[in-house]
Chains A and B, each alone.
Chain A
Amino acid sequence: MKAIKQFIFKDNVAAVICALPFIIGFIVFLVVPMLISLYYSFTDFTLLNNPSFVGLRNYTRMLDDARLWRSFKATFYFAFTSVPLRLIFALAVAMLLLKASRMVGIYRAMYYLPSLLGGSVAVSILWRRMFFVDGTINSLLGLVGLNRNFNWLGNTSTAIWTLILLAVWQFGSSMLIFLASLKQIPETLYEAASIDGSSKSRTFFRITLPLLTPTIFFNLVMQMINGFLTFTPAFIITRTGAPADTTLVYTLYMYRMNFEFSSAGYAAAMAWVMLAIIAFFTFILFITKRFWVYEGGYS
Chain B
Amino acid sequence: MAAGLLAAGALRMTWEIPLTHLLRGQELLPPRLDTGTRERIGQTSSAVALGGLRTLVATFLNLRAHTRFTEQRWGELALLFDTITDLAPRTRYYWETGSWHQAYNAASHHLNDSKLPPLRRREAWRSSIRAGRAFLERGIRNNPDDWRLHAALGFLLTDPNKIPALRDADDCFAAAAEAYRRAAEQPDALGYVRRSMLYALARVDGRQDEALALARALHAEGARNHTPTLLCLLLVLESRADPRLDTGRRAIELFGGERRAYDALCNHWRRTRERFPVDGVAAALRSIEARLGIPESESILKSPPPAPFDPDQAFGN
A binds B: no
